[in-house]
Every structure is written in C-alpha cells, then in structure tokens.
Amino acid sequence: MSPTCARGYNRKVVRDLAWLIRAPPVLSDEAGMELLRLPDSADQATADWLASLDKNPKPLLQNLEVQSGVKRLGFYAAALTQFWLEEGPGWNTQRTLSAVQLSSGTNSRQTAGQLKLVCLRPREALHVESSVKFFADASAAEPKLKSCASSYVGPFLHENLAWRLAEARRKITCTRSSSVQEYLQKEFGDVSVRSVYFLKGYIFKPLEEFWAVGRPLRDPPAEVNAACATGWYTTEISEAMKAVSPGARLAVLPKLFWLSPAVASGSPPVILGDELPGQQDPVPTDLPDKVRQDVEEHFRSVDTALLVCELLPVEGGLWVENSRGFILPSVWDPKTLMTGGPQGMRSSGEGQGQQVYSEPSKWSNQRRKYSERLADTARQLAPSLESAGVHATVPQRLSEELTHDHLKDYVLFAKERRRSADPSRFQRRLSLRTALESAEASEPGKVCKLVAAALGLLLKEAQRSDGHFILELLVKPSEQGLVPSACSVTFRADAASMEEMMKLGLSGGLCLRLAVKFAARFRFTPQRLSRDKVLSLFAEAIASSDRSRLAGLVEYLAASSSLELDETFPLEDIACKLTIPPADGTILDLVCQHVPSLCQKLSAMLTSTGQLKLARKIEVRRLRGYTEDGGNREPPSDTLVALPNLCLPPWVRVQLVADASGLDELEGRLDLGGVIGLDAEWKPWDESSPSRARSRRGQVANPVQLLQLAWADTAYVLDIPSLLAAAEEELAHLLQRLLRPKEGEAGHILVGFGLEGDIRRMADSYPWLMSRCYGGNFPFIEMQDLARSVARNSSLDYLCAVRLGLSLDKTLQCSNWELRPLPDPHIQYAALDAWVLLALLGHFLQQDRGMEKAELCELARVSVSSAATFSHSGLALGSGVCATAMALRELGVADESILFWGDGCFDDVQVCKTLACLAVDSSGQSHFCLAVFADGSASLSMPRLAEAMDCISARLVTGEELREHFRQPRGCVGPVGPAILEQPPACVVLDDGLSTTSKLSCGGGSPQWHLLATQQQILDLTHARVAAIRDLTS
C-alpha cells in the first residue's frame, strides 16, 4: 500500500483497517489454500465505508475498545479483520463465532488450536484464519535455499515462512473434523462451510538489494506474492543511515504502529495514534543522527531488533513513510531456521539479551511494546486438527428427564467454578441447553415453569441473584447480544410462572433486575402498576441500602410501559440515589429515554459528583435524541453532509501561554475586557490505566491540561501544568480576575459550551488553585442554553453545521492532551474550539439581520454591550473538593498534602466514614452535624449522636439539604467543608473509637479525594466533640 494511499485517511485506526483490506497479500494462489479477498463488487462501497469511518470512527473505536488483547499487534489486527467481515460491505455477515477452542481429539481435553473466526453469510459459513506476519529474506546466508519458503525468517527468529504455511494448512483443515462440523451445524444450521486464509504483512530484503534492485521481490518462492509490501533490513546501523534520503526524519515504531505506512504531522512531526490501549502516545520523529545515537545505545544494552521508518515531507504539512526496515543486532543469525522445511522457535527465560552492559535504552525497557527477545528454543509442530474435538460442543444427553433440580444444581456448580476454565462446566452447560431446547419443543412453556421453580429453590438457599447462570443456558454463544425475537430458539412464557417471578422481584425476594431479564428472554410483558403502587415501591427502593433494587424498578417500569414520572414523585431522591458513584450508565440511559425532564438534573448531579464523562454522555444524548415521545430522534438533514471545514481564520493569532511573560500579555488583554470564549481540554479516561496506579497528592487523575481564552483576534492557549510549575502565583491572580472580579470591575463576559462542567473540572483538578476563585460572580453566557431555544440537537459541531454552514472537525477531542510538546494541530484545534463560540454567539445576536451574508470575522466581533442581554452571573464554584480546599485555606491550613487523590491503600491510616446529619433539640431547633466513625466497624447510632449533640433526635440529611448546606456529594462528605464555616457552623462529632495515633482518611469533598489528618488536627480545625456514636449492637 503506497504512502499516497495511506494519506487518504486522517485516523490511524482507519488507515490500519484500509491497509489490511487493500494491501497486497503476502501469499500467492500457489500457496495451496483459498485466500480471502475483497469482493470486486464491493470495491467502491468499501472505499465509501472507509471514508465514512474516517469522518466518524466511533463505531470502529467502540468495537475495538471492548476486544480483549488489542494492546498486542496480532490481536489488534484480528479485531480489525473481524470488524471488516462483520460490518464491511459485500460480506452480509449475519452472525459470527470467534476463538472457539479445539482439542486434539474428540475425547481429549488438551487444547490444540481454535476456530479463529466463522461468519454466517447467506448460504455459507465462512471460516477465516488470519495473521499478520513480517519476514526477512535471508537467502543470502544460505544460497542453496534460494526461492525456498524456509529462507524467509521472522526478524526475531521465531519461525520461517514454511512453518507459517504448515500452521495455516493445519488450522484450515479443522473444519474437516466431524465434531467441528456438528458444532457449526448446531450453531448455524445446515449450511456449507468454506475455509479461507488471510495473511497480510511485509517481506524485508537486505538493505543493498532493496535500494539497488527495487521494492518488488526477485525470484520469490512460488507461494509468495512478488508484489507484496516490502522493506529492508540490516545489522549495520551506519549503512542504514547512508541510505536515508536527504531531509528525511526517522522514527522507531512501536509494534502497534507496524501495519499501515506512517503519517506524521505537527512541529516537530509526531505520528499520532488513536485512543486505544497502547496507541494513545504519539510516536516522535527525529533527525537521522539523533536516531542513530539512540539505536547504538539500544544495542549496547540488549540484542533485540527495532523497526525504523523513514518519513519525507509532502504538501499540507504532513510527513509520510518512504521506507521501513529492521535494524537487527550483530548477533542475528538466521541459519538455524533455514532448514529447508518448517521450523519454529520460541524464547526461553534465559535467552539472549539478558546481559546488560550499560544503562538500558528508551526502547529496551519496553521490549514487548517495541520488540521481542530473539528466539532460542526449538518447538514442535502442533498435532493435526483433522480429527479435532470442540471443547464442550458435543452434548451428552441427560440420563433422566430434565427437572428444576438440574437447573438449581448447575447454578451452584457454575458459581463454584465461575473463575475456572474447567471444560466440564462448558460440557454441562451445553447438555442442559440441549435438554432445555428439547423440553420446549415437546411442551411450549415448560422451560419457563422449570426456570421459575429453580429460582424458587435458589431463594430458599439465599441465592437471590445467582439465577443469571440459568439465563446463560437460554442463549447460544453465537447469539449473545441479540434480541430474543432474533434468536434461533424461542422460549414461550408461562403467564402464571412469570407473574409469580415478577411478584418475587417487586417484593425484594428475587433480584428485580434478574426477573426483568428473564421476562425479556421469555418475551413476557410485565403488568402495569398503579400510580400508588409505583410511589410505594419507589419509597421502599430509596429507603433500602440496595441500589440495584431502584435500578431494577426502573427497568421493570420501562418494560411494562409505566415509567411515567412527574413532580409528584420523589424525583430528587431518585436522581440522587441513581447518581451515587459509580453510577450505572445503562439505568440512567433508560430514565432519560422515558423521563426526559430528569436528564438535566441527572447531568448536574453527575457533574457535582465528579462523574463528568457520564454527565457529558447523558447531556449529549439528551440534546441529540431524548424527546418526550420516547426517544425518537430527527434524522440529520442531507444538506449537512460534506460541508466545508471550519478553520481558524488566518487573521486570528494563536498564542501558547506557558510562562510568566505569556501571562503578563494575557493580563494586559484582560484589562481591555471584551467577550471571551472559554474552553478546556483534558486527557480522556483510560480504562487500561487503573486509578489506583495514578494516585497523586493535590491533583486528580487526567487533570485539565489546557484552558483556552479567545478574543475575536487572538486565542490564548494556557498550558496549565507548565504554568503551575513556572508561574503558579501569576496564574492564580489571572484566574481570580477572570472568575472572581471585584464588584463593578468585570469588564468581560465569558462564553462557554458546557461552561460549568469545564470550570468544575478545573476546580476538581486543582482545588487549591481554584479555591482562591471561590465566589463565581463573573458574568457568563452558556451557549447550550441559548442554542436549545432554536435547535433540538445543539451539540457544538451540529450548531456550527446548521448555523455557520461549516463542519467543525472534532477528531482530536479525545487526544492525549498530556503530551509535551503539544503538536501544532492540537494547539490549533484547542484555539478553534474556544474561538468558534464567539462566532456562534454573533450569529445568535445577528440572526434577525440577514446573518447568512455575514462573514466569520464580523460575527466574532461581539461587543460586551450587545452580549450583556444574554449574560448571567453567580455560577458557584463552592462545592466538592474545591470547597474543602477553600475551607482549609480559611482555617489557615497551608499544607496541600492534607488533600490526597487516589483509591490506593495507605500505610498506617484508618479509613473513616462521615455522615451529614440533622439533630433536633427539645425546643425544636435544628442543628446540622457531621458524624465521623471508623468505616466498616459498625453503623451510626442516631440516638447516641443525638445525645452527643444534646438533642432529642437525629437523622440523615436529605439530598437537598446535603447540596444546600454541605455542598459535598453523598459518599464524599468529610469533617472539613463549607458547612463548618456557616453561621451557625455544623458541629463535628468524632467517635471515641477512632485512632489517636494514626492518620484518619476522611472524605475530601469529591470522588476519590481524601482528607488525611490526625484526630488532633481535626479537633483543632473544627473544635469537634468526641463521643461514642457507633451502634455496637448491630
């Protein structure tokens, strides 16, 4: 695939997919296997499909994110191939099976391989075995093996091409096994099976031959395609540097960047990845001399190969790959693999590269990411699969009639072995599923009766939520995720059994969410409930400690078409309980679909508890589709397709602010006032990096990296981490003037899109810094509110399309904003995101005066006087951890380490729980208080708390009281916060069982923030009381 073809797509993941589809195959038709090829009839449709994915890669990224192992090159390529076969034009795939484990024989439990992928297409099941491989033509080392497949060896000496061909033929023949054929017929029905092989990759030639003879292979083996993708290899770094083109830059490629030809951009150029595990960090390019020094240092440490690519500049500020090649260690010797036949090797634990002669290089300590250890141990060919068995695919008939006891026993058996790969569990599951299908065929509705009876037996053994093991028996592996009506076997509902099941779920005896799932599988519609009954159930669910009961009630009401909530329901309490971290996005999605009026409240509560990603998802879904008629959404207009791209006008100056001098210039501009567009950028959450590994003092995970402030002619991009290191006081002063102007001195108006979320993220990221800006009395305009009055779908890119007639490219939104130095495209993108708000605001102000003829430069020049009619003030920052930091500052605490972010374990620390309560004295006067006791030791005794407060009763505060007086979300409350600064202040009561020597870990005001202080420090700060407040009898 040529560099020109690679430049056709902006996103790396789409370039990789396109390369897999369109790159010349490694093998020829002489390989002795049918090869998978793109159908000619789908060529143009595939090109259009790839172009649409490049514009919106979300479906592809979401598909890859849930795949296991995509941090490894082989799994990543396999996942891309499967996505193409499932979603690409021309295949018409209806269902797929993947990674089906095969045994060496019908009665063997030894795994010998797997069915990699089987696609059910019209009239056939397509069995696909795929690989991505890289081979070096080493025939010069053994001329007598010229044009022999065994002379093509892997750069890490793990195998030769003859071995790979033998492995491929072995895997292809597995569909000849009677057990495999029986399994496929059971899953897909009576269809023919066709097996094909799909091998893409590169062949690397000796460096001299590559540049002297050309890229095509010369006299390759008959099995090899002479036109396949090629590169070079050498063991002499100096020779490689001599061959580099003038003006070129080099990059050492991590393995996940080995597929499509590389494309770099920015200044200095970097090769951007995608927001997938292992690809988030861009790959830097460097001048040849610098790369040569680094590679030489690498080989002084370890003997592992490196893949280097050469990039040349082209139009548009891009650098594209001109060639690629392996630089191999001097000890590289392929002769062991060049046997004239199949030969495979593997690395031992004591292989080459263990000796370290100096400090390791920047690649050697990431060997799996960039390279591998050279092989040194021979391995044997795997057994044939022509008589393979399939693990747990040959059902053993039950020796007796199926009863509910069989189902109950299976649940207890499966629960015990849920973590194991015991084949007996899979065999037992298949046998029971076969028996269930037979029972349903003989008597429709019988399975439903058996399931209901088995669940009843499980309840007697206190297994109320383990019935999901029975649910898995009702779905074939190939039909996971399908709606019941699309499954090959339909199980009829028995009305009496299902009604009893629903009754048990509503009463709390059976997990209600599980009962609703069974209703869906049996295609049973639960009975509608009366309004009074729904109110009663909500009250019980809110009062219970089981949050899943409330979630199950929501699902039940949605399934029964009775999820119709209005102001007579306890909406505040419902929303509060559903948004306690970690909130269930599926349940919130259901609520928003059926009760759109709750969306904004849920989004606000999620924001206040720090669950910003979920809050934004709810907000975006609300704006794009949640409507009062049940979620039907208006399709996008055809006129919005293929609009011109929105770019920052050339007369707008972009200034990166990373030091005190840049802040001085910005302060001078702020003196002049004006309307200012504000936006913020931070790195999206990476599920592959657990939060416990990112714990840090005084800073949240993935903090705000950039804060953008845009005037009509200048956009300032503030590098927050750099400014905190170089000019923290100057930055604090700027933010005070911006967000906490003195009365009568605010000559500016801030314009944002989700402004409160951006500023709250700043507050949660840097609470000590932002606590100086407490007050939030700045004038602002929220563009979301303004846009909502005229557009149902008011996402920023949609607004730009329908209001400005231009397409706002959001592909960099989920980039790694922690990268330094920041690539120039990222800086331009960030500046445009803030500046475009001014143009949109100008449009709303001028829409009655023929806006469609106005230029962008005219729209962006909005005056304060004209914008003032839309502005508000009073956006509060005094909640969450920022409010805790503000309270600590007011109390004279200067040690920022008292606040700690993270969910890791602490040494010599006692974890505490803090509950916000309200006590009432004998005169009826109410007193707010904070009860602190050891987490997990016992529950709080309300009578004892009342006694400690010299009152007659005490209770937990309501959700509204918690937000209004304590301003800390439930689950994050601590003994220090805004409530102790109120008049009268909330009283803090410490349990007498708390440690007096260790530090106490209390809530810090936001999720995963902790207040770390000794008992004496808390006493000194809050003048707390010490009393016995635990209920030791519970």
Q: Is the pLDDT of residue 623 over 60?
A: no
First-to-last C-alpha distance (Å) of the chain: 70
Q: How many CB atoms lie within 10 A of CB 104?
A: 18
Which pLDDT score is estimated for 397?
60
Which pLDDT score is estimated for 719?
95
Q: Is the pLDDT of residue 701 over 80?
A: no
Which of residues 9 and 852 earns the better pLDDT score?
9
Which pLDDT score is estimated for 341?
73
**Beta strands 674-682 and 748-752, pairing class:** parallel
Which pLDDT score is estimated for 420?
46
Tokens of 879: 């909640």
Which of residues 166 and 99 earns the better pLDDT score?
166
Output the pTM of the full model: 0.50
Do 882 and 771 contact (CB within 8 A), yes or no?
yes
Average confidence score pLDDT of the chain: 81
Which pLDDT score is estimated for 690?
36
Give mean pLDDT, residues 613-621: 67
Q: Is the pLDDT of residue 419 over 70?
A: no
Q: What is the percentage of the chain residues whose pLDDT exceeds 70?
A: 83
How far is 309 from 258, CA to CA, in rounded Å? 10
Give mean pLDDT, residues 635-655: 71
Which pLDDT score is estimated for 485?
64
For 890-1031, CATH number out of 3.40.50.150, 1.10.3080.10, 1.10.730.10, 3.90.960.10 equals: 3.90.960.10
What φ, ψ does residue 810 adopt, rounded to 5°? Answer: -110, 20
Which of residues 787 and 191 earns the better pLDDT score?
191
Tokens 């519970």 appear where?
Answer: 1034
Which pLDDT score is estimated for 375?
79
Do 126 and 194 contact (CB within 8 A), yes or no?
yes
pLDDT band at residue 260, thresholds of 50, 70 and 90? very high
Do 758 and 752 contact (CB within 8 A), yes or no?
yes
Please report, for the chain, the start and end positions of each structural domain, with discontinuous segments joined by +.
3-275+282-316, 395-518, 528-631, 653-686+698-870, 890-1031
Q: Mind giving me the DSSP string for 258-314?
A: -SSPPEEBTTTTEE---SSTTTSSPEE-B-HHHHHHHHHHHHHH----EEEEEEEE-
Give mean pLDDT, residues 209-226: 87
Which pLDDT score is estimated for 902?
73
Helices (H), 752-895: 755-765, 767-770, 783-788, 796-799, 824-846, 856-860, 864-867, 880-890
How far is 113 from 842, CA to CA, in rounded Å? 64
Give mean pLDDT, residues 698-713: 82
Q: Is the pLDDT of residue 14 over 90?
A: yes
pLDDT band at residue 691, thresholds of 50, 70 and 90? very low
Under 8 Å CB-to-CB from 173, ≥6 apart: which residues? 195, 384, 385, 386
Which of residues 658 and 413 earns the better pLDDT score?
658
Best-predicted range by mean pLDDT (643-652, 810-819, 924-933): 924-933
In 22-179, which ranges are E strands? Answer: 95-103, 111-121, 124-137, 152-153
Q: Is the pLDDT of residue 570 over 90?
A: no
Q: Is the pLDDT of residue 743 over 70?
A: no
For residue 152, CA distances in Å to 101, 170, 226 come to: 30, 20, 13
Give mean pLDDT, residues 487-503: 85
Which of residues 56 and 852 earns the better pLDDT score?
56
- Whether residue 636 is preceded by a cis peptide bond, meaning omega within 30 degrees of 0, is no
Between 406-420, 438-452, 455-469, the lowest mean confidence (pLDDT) is in: 406-420
Which pLDDT score is estimated for 907?
65
What is the torsional sign of CA 255, 260, 266, 268? positive
For residue 881, CA distances in Å to 707, 771, 1005 come to: 20, 9, 4
Do 114 and 100 contact (CB within 8 A), yes or no?
yes
**Model confidence pLDDT, tens digit, residues 108-154:** 556 777 888 999 998 899 999 999 999 999 988 777 777 788 889 99
Do 646 and 836 contact (CB within 8 A), yes or no?
yes
How far is 940 from 943, CA to CA, in rounded Å? 9
Between 224-233, 360-369, 380-389, 967-976, the lowest mean confidence (pLDDT) is in: 360-369
Do 313 and 132 contact (CB within 8 A), yes or no?
no
**Model confidence pLDDT, tens digit, residues 866-909:** 888 777 776 656 678 888 898 998 899 988 889 888 755 566 78
Under 8 Å CB-to-CB from 194, ≥6 apart: which residues? 34, 124, 125, 126, 127
Give mean pLDDT, residues 507-531: 85
For residue 659, CA distances in Å to 717, 766, 965 come to: 12, 18, 39
**Model confidence pLDDT, tens digit, residues 953-1000:** 999 988 778 878 888 887 789 999 989 988 889 999 999 989 888 899
Do 8 and 18 contact (CB within 8 A), yes or no?
yes
Q: Is the pLDDT of residue 488 over 60?
A: yes
Helices (H), 595-751: 599-608, 612-624, 660-671, 720-726, 728-739
pLDDT band at residue 218, thresholds of 50, 70 and 90? confident
Q: Is the pLDDT of residue 356 over 50?
A: no
In 183-272, which ranges are E strands? Answer: 192-206, 230-234, 249-252, 263-264, 270-271
Which pLDDT score is estimated for 695?
38
Share of the chain residues as helix, strand and coil, in percent rounded to the nearest 5: 40, 20, 40
DSSP reduced 3-state for 555: helix
**Model confidence pLDDT, tens digit, residues 999-1032:** 999 998 887 788 999 999 999 999 999 999 988 7
How far is 83 from 75, CA to CA, in rounded Å? 12
Which pLDDT score is estimated for 939?
81
Between 185-199, 539-553, 813-827, 966-980, the lowest mean confidence (pLDDT) is in: 539-553
Give the angle 304-310-313 at the CA atoms, nearest 5°.
155
Helices (H), 56-110: 58-65, 73-87
Which pLDDT score is estimated for 207?
92
Do 967 and 978 contact (CB within 8 A), yes or no?
yes
Which pLDDT score is estimated for 698?
42
Q: Is the pLDDT of residue 642 over 60?
A: no
The 8-class DSSP code of residue 349 comes to T
Half-sphere exposure at residue 1031, Cβ-oriented, CA atoms within 13 angstroms: 8
Do 663 and 731 contact (CB within 8 A), yes or no?
yes
Which pLDDT score is estimated for 969?
80
pLDDT band at residue 425, thresholds of 50, 70 and 90? low
Which of residues 849 and 388 earns the better pLDDT score?
388
Tokens of 987: 């009283």
Which pLDDT score is estimated for 233?
95
Closest listed residue to residue 241, CA positions, set 150, 299, 310: 310
Is residue 262 packed enough to be buried (19+ CB in 10 Å), middle (13-18) or exposed (0-12)?
Answer: buried
Q: Mind giving me the DSSP string for 410-472?
A: HHHHHHHTTTS--HHHHHHHHHHHHHHHHHHHHSTTHHHHHHHHHHHHHHHTT-TT-THHHHG
Please name the CATH architecture into which domain 653-686+698-870 falls: 2-Layer Sandwich (3.30)
In 636-722, which ranges are E strands? Answer: 653-657, 674-682, 696-697, 704-710, 714-719
Q: Is the pLDDT of residue 483 over 50?
A: yes
Give mean pLDDT, residues 821-829: 88
pLDDT band at residue 849, thresholds of 50, 70 and 90? very low
Which pLDDT score is estimated for 628?
38
